[in-house]
Amino acid sequence: MKHILILTESSSVPYIYECALTFGYKPIFLYTIDAWDIRIDYSYELIDFSKSEKDIAEFLKGKYEDIVGVVSCIEQLTHKMAKISELLGVSINSRSSYTNLRDKKAMKECWEQNGVSTPKSYGIFHNSNIGRDDLLYPVIVKPVFGAASAGVKKISSFSELQSQIKHILRYNLTTLANEGKVKSGFIIEQFVMGAEYSVDTIWVNGKPILSGILSKSTPKEPDFPDRLYFTDTKLDCETREKILEETYKGISAAGVKNGCTHTEVRVMDGKVFLIEAALRPGAGGALYRILTESTEIDFYKYLIIANTPSLIAAYNNTEEIIVTPQKRFFWYNVSYEGSGKIKGLDVKKELAEDSNIKSVIFRRKIGSYLPREGMSSSYLAWVIGLLPESVNSEFEIESYMNYMDNNIIVSYG
């Protein structure tokens, strides 16, 4: 029996499972030992990722025969899973490519050295004693090893910078402890305005074979949380080509040959700026659902292909598939107020019965602690659905997001 190991977020499990079966593989889903949203109807393993890569690989190799590939979709574990893949004999990239797209210091250096358009970096810092006087405010400050926009903030003065640095250093000491990155510091960079997009690309032997561009609502300042992504049926061809050209340049410069990348970009005065990228699918795989729904191209199928060495060889000559979204499907990260231990979670009747809403997925459970927004690398809830035809302007999009927020209730106690 050929096995494929998969680390993803729970709502993507059924889709990846079906795709793996079509290739004749038995999927084994991996979860962290503190996972609460396990899909028990699918074969799985609880993994203590605090153990060494060697110990984890030996355990998996001893239990599952003929492991053909590893699909890794979770940001904080991409580098560790890459090492495990090497030990299992199913590596698909050089280890440096994972570093380049996880460590923002390495990412910036890589892009700047290769002429990739990206906001100017003022440097990497490790304590609050910032002695520079050449910062042109506003600037962006963020953790070197952040995720889900945690710790990202637009700063307009030195006093604001000092305050946010304290929050980031605390984030590094707590959230990043499992990665061993408590001393990783923070990055200060140029603030770039403009429309924001994300690009999910699937790579085979250094070639992009499938890309989905998602438009984003204008992220709210100053924290710019991930909020609304949608398949934009009105994106013009010129902007699309510019975004893909610069994205491909940046990902290739990072050394990626295979697998899946998620890139965040801004377009200012017709110029594309790469904000950051990761070597995994957007939202842990969940964005593939709206891309698949909108285009009728199974992104999950190509996720399996690009992470399995034997399939990579078989699909080496695949030409890039042109993606044209037919409908405006969206993924929405619900906004919330406050923080604390969750006492209750609920979806109001109006939203539950809305025909445009396909799924409401809670990312936290009752009894867990919910940090305040802006300093959390996880989420409260996702909504997946079809944007109503009446929702077009920025004001209408903002109103629709408020409608979803108001119909998902969290209480603390």
pLDDT exceeds 70 at position 115: yes
pLDDT at site 89: 98
Mark residue 185 as left, alpha or beta (left: phi above 0; alpha: psi -120 to 50; beta: remaining): left
Q: Span 295-305, mean pLDDT?
A: 97
Nearest of 272, 269, 273, 249 to residue 261 by alpha carbon: 249
| Burial state string for 90-103 with b = 16 or more CB within 10 A and e = fewer than 16 | bbbbeeebbbbbbb
For 137, 165, 198, 245, the CA distances from 141, given in Å and listed in that order, are 11, 8, 20, 27
Q: Span 353-370, mean pLDDT?
A: 96
Residue at 29: amino acid letter: F
Nearest of 127, 156, 162 to residue 140 by alpha carbon: 156
Helix axes 13-22, 287-295, angle to 10 degrees: 60
pLDDT at site 162: 74
The tokens of 54 are what? 């060697």
Question: Rounded CA gap, 120 and 108, in Å?
Answer: 9
pLDDT at site 376: 62
Taking CA 332 as the corner, what is the angle to CA 47 and CA 44, rounded to the nearest 5 degrees? 20
* Confidence bin at 149 (pLDDT 50/70/90): low
Q: Span 9-26, mean pLDDT?
A: 98
pLDDT exceeds 90 at position 120: no
For 230-278, how does the pLDDT look when each residue is reduced to its tens digit (9 = 90+)? 999 999 999 999 999 999 999 999 999 999 999 999 999 999 999 999 9
Nearest of 353, 375, 308 to residue 66 by alpha carbon: 308
The number of residues making up the chain comes to 413
- State the CB neighbour count (10 A cutoff) for residue 186: 27
Query: 338 CB contacts (<8 Å, ≥6 apart)?
Result: 370, 372, 410, 412
Taking a C-beta distance cutoff of 8 angstroms, is the pair 122, 135 a contact?
Answer: yes
Looking at the chain, the whole-number percentage of residues with pLDDT higher than 90 is 73
Question: Rounded CA gap, 162 and 134, in Å?
Answer: 16
* Confidence bin at 9 (pLDDT 50/70/90): very high
Residue at 285: amino acid letter: G
pLDDT exceeds 70 at position 104: yes
Instruction: Decide: helix, strand or coil at residue 213.
Output: strand
Q: Using the structure block, give the residue that is written with the tokens 């891309």.
A: 291
Q: Using the structure block, give the residue that is written with the tokens 């890309």.
A: 211
pLDDT at site 298: 98
Query: 364 CB contacts (<8 Å, ≥6 apart)?
Result: 342, 345, 370, 378, 379, 380, 381
Question: Rounded CA gap, 16 and 29, in Å?
Answer: 10
Question: Rounded CA gap, 24 and 381, in Å?
Answer: 33
The dihedral through the CA atoms of 213, 214, 220, 225 has a sign that is negative
Taking a C-beta distance cutoff of 8 angstroms, is the pair 306, 204 a contact?
Answer: yes
Bridge partner list, 196: 266
pLDDT at site 174: 66
For 213-226, how does the pLDDT look when each residue is reduced to its tens digit (9 = 90+)? 999 977 666 666 78
Q: Span 328-355, mean pLDDT?
A: 96
pLDDT at site 141: 82
pLDDT exceeds 90 at position 37: yes
Q: Using the structure block, give the residue that is written with the tokens 């304290």.
A: 166
Q: Span 394-404, mean pLDDT?
A: 95
Question: Rounded CA gap, 327 and 295, in Å?
Answer: 8
175 or 322, greater pLDDT? 322
pLDDT at site 373: 80
pLDDT at site 160: 78
Q: Using the structure block, give the residue that is written with the tokens 């609050």.
A: 128
Question: Rounded CA gap, 159 and 165, in Å?
Answer: 10
Taking a C-beta distance cutoff of 8 angstroms, is the pair 384, 294 a contact?
Answer: no
pLDDT exceeds 60 at position 148: no
374 or 69, greater pLDDT? 69
- Of 102-111, 219-228, 323-332, 401-410, the range with the lowest mean pLDDT is 219-228
Bridge partner list, 345: 410
* Confidence bin at 137 (pLDDT 50/70/90): confident
Q: Span 362-387, mean pLDDT?
A: 88
Query: 190 CB contacts (<8 Å, ≥6 apart)?
Result: 119, 120, 121, 122, 136, 139, 140
pLDDT at site 164: 80
* Confidence bin at 121 (pLDDT 50/70/90): confident
Q: Span 299-311, mean pLDDT?
A: 98
Nearest of 377, 266, 264, 283 to residue 331 by alpha carbon: 283
